[in-house]
Amino acid sequence: MRDVASVGISVIKMEKVLLLLAGVSVLYALDNGLGRTPPMGWNSWERFRCNVDCDNDPENCIGEKLYMQMADRMAADGYKDAGYEYVNVDDCWMAKERGPDGKLQADPKRFPSGMKALGDYIHSKGLKFGIYEDFGTQTCGGFPGSKFFMETDAQTFADWGVDLLKLDGCYSNIEDMTSGYPIMEFFLNKTGRPILYSCSWPAYFVAYKKIPDYKAIAKSCNIWRNYDDIQDSWDSVTEIVNYYAKNKGNFFEVAGPGSFNDPDMLIIGNFGLSRDQQRAQMAMWAIMAAPLLMSADLRKMDPYSKSILLNKDVIAINQDPMGQPGSIILDMNQIQIWFRPVMPKGSAAFAVLYTGSYGTPEKLSLKCETLGMVGPGGYNVTEVFDGRYVGMFKSADNINITVNPSGVFLGKAVYLGN
């Protein structure tokens, strides 16, 4: 057994734990009343990409049928009841040209009923309708962008009953984003329809090696992409987690109700992750207070993946009403410890992530302080995925934890000192 207790409190960023416990107030949130907890839903991009070949692949192409079927599955298979609500159309939904009136139009062959009808269908299932556009002249997939049409597009989306807009940043000048993204926020607000605003603005700054102004971003956007697109692999998940661990630009500090970092979609239920890796992605997205946007074929989910996506206790951590994201407090030899304050007051969720692949589970003995359990009153600790009670611990006690290779131990420590 590896004894990490001896590493002790000195290596952890103690100030960070205390600040997190104190509940640093968030002054920057976009005040449209939306996204008080991280939004949950489904997005087509990671799994279905820009497949426009409805002639040869009618089941999987970007068209109204796909979104209607996903809405059906979300409503019937327990996803909606678990909190997943947005059905998000991503890129490649449009016709190649705007209409004669300058308005965006859906591809008529793939969306024969039109976007308003699709929105109505999604709403009829008790779900919300998300759509994708781009800040520049074209979307990343080469369809008409919003540049010079922002007011028209905001109104078109409101007329269609859109509830979420993801505004990407391909084919644009990043210098324009600082003024331009807030202008779209203004036009969205002007429609009078509450539309959750998802911005890719910081991800483009990061791609150009510039530090984004996260305070400004959090003022205008409900969620924002900080980094590269997720792909269907463990390497991609760990690359993203490692990026967030660095917190470059202090983006975790501006997050809170109404404003959340978006490390991109959940790839649980696809081809690239083992069972442990799927748990690890879900755990880390819960700890980071990330939007839970599934991108998998809900018509073909295997029961294990589905059970992870529907795990109520993990979702409860993600949706904690304080909306305070966690952060990394220890990073050592492929073991990362992340800590997130959650309700009831003084309690915490913690993730022990083992990113390595040294084929046998790691057995760790960790001093509770090292996991962020610093309160004098003691904690009841539960392993979250299986709901297994681990025991009652004081901060000076050691806790024994086993973590599988490329896996996670997700714990909830309920504070007993209130």
Residue 65 or 166 with smaller CB distance to ligand GLA:
166
* Amino acid making up residue 394: K
Closest CA to 186 of 219, 214, 156: 219
Contact 275, 304 (CB under 8 A): yes
Catalytic residue among 120, 229, 313, 397: 229
Residue choice 64, 85, 91, 331 for contact with ligand GLA (CB under 6 A): 91
45 touching ligand GLA, by CB under 6 A: yes
Is 358:405 a contact under the CB 8 Å cutoff? yes
- Site size for ligand GLA, by CB under 6 A? 10
Choose between 208 and 389: whose C-beta lies nearer to ligand GLA. 208
Choosing from 140, 328, 335, 408, the residue that interacts with ligand GLA (CB under 6 A) is 140
Stretch binding ligand GLA (CB under 6 A), from 27-35, 134-142, 244-252, 322-330: 134-142
Q: Which of 153, 168, 264, 320 is catalytic?
A: 168
Give SS3 for 84: coil
- If you search the block for the tokens 């429609």, which residue do you land on? 191
CA-to-CA distance for 199 and 220, rounded, in angstroms? 9
Among 38, 141, 249, 411, binds ligand GLA (CB under 6 A): 141
What is the Cβ-side half-sphere exposure of residue 397, based on CA atoms within 13 angstroms? Answer: 16
90 binds ligand GLA (CB under 6 A): yes
264 vs 331, which CB is nearer to ligand GLA?
264
3-state secondary structure of 116: helix
Give the tokens for residue 106.
């859906």
Catalytic: 168?
yes
Q: Residue 86, interface with ligand GLA (CB under 6 A)? A: no
Of 284, 283, 286, 310, nearest to 296 (Cα)?
Answer: 310
107 part of the interface to ligand GLA, by CB under 6 A? no
The two structure tokens encoding residue 30:
């976009």
The DSSP line for 173-191 is -HHHHHHHHHHHHHHHHHH
Give the amino acid at 72: D
Token digits of residue 361: 């589970």
| Contacting range for ligand GLA; rule: CB under 6 A; set: 132-140, 269-277, 321-329, 387-395 | 132-140
- Least gap, CB of 45 to ligand GLA (angstroms): 5
Indicate the residue among 29 and 140 with the shorter CB distance to ligand GLA. Answer: 140
Query: Using CB under 6 A, which of the segments 21-29, 138-146, 212-220, 401-409 binds ligand GLA?
Result: 138-146
Q: How far apart are CA 154 and CA 104, in angstroms?
A: 10
Catalytic residue status for 228: no
Query: Least distance in Å: CB of 319 to ligand GLA?
Result: 23
Strand-pair partners of 347 = 342
Going by C-alpha positions, the residue among 116, 140, 139 that lies closest to residue 129 is 116
**Residue 320 binds ligand GLA (CB under 6 A):** no
Q: At closest approach, how far in Å is the CB of 225 from ligand GLA?
A: 6
- Contact residues for ligand GLA, defined by CB under 6 A: 45, 90-91, 132, 139-141, 168, 200, 229
Residues marked as catalytic: 168, 229
